[in-house]
Every structure is written in C-alpha cells, then in structure tokens.
Structure 1
C-alpha cells in the first residue's frame, strides 16, 4: 500500500487533485519538449508511477462530497505497467500528451470513460472490458503493440481520429465481437497492420474517412459478419491490403467514394453482403478483383471508371443502380455485340457501359444479364432490357459447340434471338424484291398449259417464301433454266429458315416475359 510520504512531487499533485477531478498539467509550454514522442527523455519532475495511477483509480484516496473524483493528467511520463485487469473502476481517467513506458491492460475491467489523447503508449488490451462511457484515443500513437477490444462492450464512442497504431504482427486492431452503443470514429486513422472487426455490432456506424490501413500482404479491413448502420470508407480512404465484408449487414450506407483499394489479388470481398445504399465511386480502379457474389444492395451508385478489370458479379442483386458520373472517351475495342469494352464507353450510352461492366465478370454467367434486364424493365425501359438480353445470348453463343454457334449466328442475323423480330421482315422484303426482279425477267413453263392463273413474279416469290399453305403459283410453273430453278430452291430454304427462326425467337421472348 502506497503512503503519501513515498510519493514524488508530481505524484502528490496528482493525489491531491484526484478527489476534485482537477487537471494536473506537467507540460512546460514548449511544443518541442512537450511532444509525447520525446517522453522517454523526461525526468523525474514529469514522472508518475503507474502504481500510483492504479491506486487512485481503485479508491486509494477518499472521495470528497460535492465533487466528482477523476484522474486527469497531462504531459506526464508514466513509468511501469498500468495493469487494471478485472478492476471495477468508478472514475473517469484522462491522459493527454503523456508517454507510457509499458502497455496498458484493461482486460475484463469495468470502467467509465477512458481518454488517452495525443499520447504515446506501447499498446492497450481492453478485451472483455465493459466501458460505461467513451474510449478516446484521438491523435495517440500505439507503437509496437495492438489495440485489443475483443468481445468488449463500449456504451459511448470509440474515437481513433488521427491515431497511429502499429501492431506487432498482422493486426493493429483486434476487435472481433466488439459491441458498440456509440459510433466508431477513425477519421485519418493510420495503421501498420489490419483492422479486425469480425462479428462486431456497430449500430451507430464505422467512420474511416481518410484512414490509411496498411497490411499489404494480407487483410487491411476484416469486417465479416459485421452488423452496422453505416460503413464510411470515403474521402481518400486507403487500404493497402484486402477489404473483407463477407456476410456483412449494413442497414444504411456503405461508401467507397474517393477511396483507394490496393489489395493484392483481391481488393474487396463482399460475398453475401446486404447493404442499403452502396456507393462505389472509388478514386481509382482497385488494384485487384472486386467480389460481389451473392451480395444485395437496395440502391447502388457507381462510376464507370471505378471498377477493376475483374468483377465477380454472379448472384449480385440490386433494387436500383445508377452511374454517379458519366465518362466519355473515343475509340477502343468492341465486343461481339458492337458495344465497347473496358473503359472506352460512348458518352451517354449507359447500356453499353453496363454491358462492359458485366463483361468484367470472368466467363459466362447469365444472372448478371438477367438482373440488369430486370432493372431496365422495372423502370420501363423495355428496349434497353431487350438489348441486354441480346448481349447475353451473344455471350452465351461463345460457350456452345460449333453447331450451336452456327445456329446462334443464324438466329442473331434473322431475328436477333427474338429480341429483334423486325429483322425477319427485312429479310422477307429483300428476298421478295430479289425474286420479283429475277423471275420477272424470265418466262417459266406452265405445268398444265392453258390452265390456272397467269404467272405473276411477285406472287410466285411469296409462294416460295411462305412454307405453309400456298398461293397456287409454285405448283403451276417450273423453270427450264438452272439459274432460276436454283433461286427458287434458295427462296424455299430461306422461307423455312426464317419461319423457324421467327418461331424460336418469339417462343424465347414469350418464355422470358
């Protein structure tokens, strides 16, 4: 048990100030000398033992009536290990511009608001802690040790604004199972190591605007199965490593507006994620794959140039999708359906841009096309929906065997897979004109001389093109010259092909609608 006589002068000041909650300020007023990075050189006139701090927080100095006891210390060097594991702490404590010699342990503790602001500390372990207030680490540096909040519960806010955390291993922040009642604020947070939040409950949101999370060979942000109202990774947010949001449930907004996602191989994983508003307008295309398989967004806003070369879209559904901006470039390669690929999109052609986006999904997958077509139907753009479904059939055609590809090309050229039935009419008109001109320049031979209607080249051509029924001309005349006879055979074959293609295309359209 510490006695008052054993205390140094700074410790006595703190001891006397504690019952009234007064601030003990050991700073010199010279900014260069007061920076906590230089705290290892501070002398005894600015040193306080961790044991004294612990003794006060555990009730060593009796409280006075009419005032609220609190420990408030600024500009101090705290020597020894501040170990409050399992403690019941009824007082707020606040360190500012302090240098702590060893890591702080709050494992399993129950405490009120904790503030370690603009300070230097080797690490903080608050696993299983119950903090009935806020945990404020703004502008502090955790050097060589992680911030651990595994299965902790915080009634107020977790404030990491402008903090710097460099963990000893892969993770700088370990907060799996964290339960927050307030928000997590990490604006301009910088970490050497990942931020790990699997299964965390963040009803007031996670705010990482301008943060920089560095774990280049691993995961920068692990928030799988997190439940949050908002996840804000905008305003220059940078992830040097993969961002994982697998099976996350985000009620309101998930935004990467102005973000930089630099994961190696896979930049963003959102498998089975459910989100209200999904804003993917990154500042630059991610360096790796974006995985949206089986994810759902009520509303999605993106940018044409925000997507990487590979986007996994199978099972991705959305209630609404819009471009937040429209880019315009000229030239570029075109796909099989004539629409540009990659980032070379014509200005104002949203459908072409969306089709290029779908083609970033490796291989052929029908669901992304069906989802996009369903969205266009929902907003009344049936023509755009048909265009998407036609592009789907053209993409599918590449996966078929040679006979299937030949039939597919035929369906495409004649009726556009049923999504352009007017093409059959164009072919019929062209062939009818050809037959009328050729047959009109020659004289056929009647099958039965002196019987039947006189020869009419136009009616005769229609009779050849229409495979069902008859107009009486085809069976009444025949040709002696081989050229006209072969044209007749070609028109008969074309009539069957066009009829079959029209029936197949219309059947496909009716089945889809």
Structure 2
C-alpha cells in the first residue's frame, strides 16, 4: 500500500506504527450530539477524521514500516474500522491494541499467531478467532459484542480478560461465547461478564485462576 493512498487519519496511524506511538482519536467530535460522542456504539456516525480502513491495518501489521531501535506496534483508540480485518492464518509479530474502537465487521483471526491482542472497550459485531495463538494476553475488557465470540481451540500463553464484557447474539443459535478446547497459560478473568446466551467451556484448560 502506498502512503499516497491513505487518508489523513490513516497517514497519522502509518507514521506512528514504526515507533509504537499511540494514536487516539477520542475527543475529535465536532458537536454535543450523540453522533459526535466518543461512545463506540455510535461509531458508524464517526467521520473520516477518525475512520481507518481494515485493509490499512492489515498492511501495517504484515508489512508496515520499521524504525531502527524502536518496537513497532499498532496502538489505536477511538477509531471506526471499516471493512473486515482479516488476519486468518497470519503471523503478526507486533502488539495489536485497538481500544475503544467501532468495527463495522467482525475481525477474523482464525489460525493466526499474535504477540498481543487488546480489543478492550470496543464495539464489534462478533469475533472469529478459532485456533488463534496469542503469545501473551488477550484483552476483551468491557468490549461489547453483537454477535458470537469464537475462541474454540485458542491457545493463549497468558490470561484471557473478559471482565465487564457484554456479548449478545439474539439471532444466533448455539453458544455466544465459544471457549471449548481453549488452552490458557494463566487466568480466565471474567468478573462482570454478561452474555445473552450460553457459554461453552467443554475441554478448556486453564492453568491459573478461573473467575466468572
């Protein structure tokens, strides 16, 4: 992807990636209405000044710029992500932190290998992450899902954080949170987890503490 193809918001993120600098679009609304608020539930109304295409995120994570002596990382908050972030079977060597974001489509991490994944306080229509491997922690703290969260067969060397997470999938049959056959190297930390539907933990292995 060429830098000339990017919007101003995407260019800011592209420049920040190589050094792992945070990019936070919160507080960029232009008025007092709900459409201009920072609540990601209303993220579909956010304008181009805080919108990033999923294809740009994918390009950064798979072939983004590097800066000698710095640790590259994708650290983004308060953005609308358009399109589907599809990283299935990809190997990503950089932390992925997409907090307080609105996703138009459910991300796909099926079979991916990640260093860290943080989707805390984001709003998503689901999460497709069967057989994902995370070499660290997976944070979904206070995230809101309007579809199934699929983590069957996931391997997480650290902890899985689901505290205050809300999962609702009213039009879906079957468990809304699938953790069957998942392997956690540390804790399953989920106080305040709310689901409208069942949770599947069949065959899951947790080395540390389970707090539901």
> What is the TM-score of this pair, normalised by structure 1?
0.39
What is the rounded CA distance, in whole Å, between the counterparts of 2:142 and 2:202 in structure 1? 25
Residue of structure 1 equivalent to 2:108: 105
2:182 alignment partner in structure 1? 178
Q: Distance in 2 between matches of 1:206 and 1:53?
A: 33
76, 79, 84: which one aligns with 2:82: 79
User: The residue matched to 1:20 in structure 2 has which SS?
Assistant: coil
- In the alignment, which residue of structure 2 is the partner of 1:130? 133
2:154 counterpart residue number: 152
For 1:53 and 1:193, the matched residues in 2 are separated by 31
Distance in 2 (alpha carbons) for counterparts of 1:142 and 1:169: 15
The 2-side partners of 1:180 and 1:41 are apart by 37
Is the aligned partner of 1:189 residue 2:193? yes
1-structure distance, mates of 2:209, 2:201: 12
The CA distance in 1 between the partners of 2:133 and 2:210, in whole Å, is 19
- Residue 121 of structure 2 corresponds to which residue in structure 1? 118
CA offset digits 1:461-495 (Å, max 9, x no partner): xxxxxxxxxxxxxxxxxxxxxxxxxxxxxxxxxxx
What does 1:33-432 correspond to in 2, within 5 Å?
A: 33-59=37-63, 61-143=64-146, 145-167=147-169, 168-208=172-212
- Structure 2: runs of 5+ lacking an equivalent: none
Instruction: Tell me the C-alpha RMSD between the 2 structures.
Output: 1.3
Distance of 2:135 and 2:73 partners within structure 1: 14
Measure, in 2, the Cα distance between the counterparts of 1:39 and 1:180.
32
- Report the CA distance between 1:182 and its aligned residue: 1.2
Structure with the higher fraction of residues in helix conformation? 1
Matching of residue 19 in structure 1 with residue 18 in structure 2: yes
C-alpha change, 1:29 and 1:16, in structure 2 (3 Å) is closer
* Aligned residues between the structures: 205
Return the alpha-carbon distance in structure 2 between the equivalents of residues 181 and 6 of structure 1: 41
SS state of the match for residue 95, structure 1? strand
SS at match of 1:177: coil
What's the CA shift string for 1:299-355, capped at 9, x where partnerless? xxxxxxxxxxxxxxxxxxxxxxxxxxxxxxxxxxxxxxxxxxxxxxxxxxxxxxxxx
| Aligned counterparts of 1:121 and 1:54: Cα–Cα separation in 2 | 17
CA contact (8 A) 2:137 2:157 kept: yes
- Normalising to structure 2: TM-score of the pair? 0.93
| Distance in 2 of aligned mates of 1:29 and 1:7 | 19
Indicate the SS of the match to 1:34. coil
Larger Rg: 1
Q: Does 1:4 align with 2:6?
A: no
Q: Distance in 2 between matches of 1:88 and 1:72?
A: 18
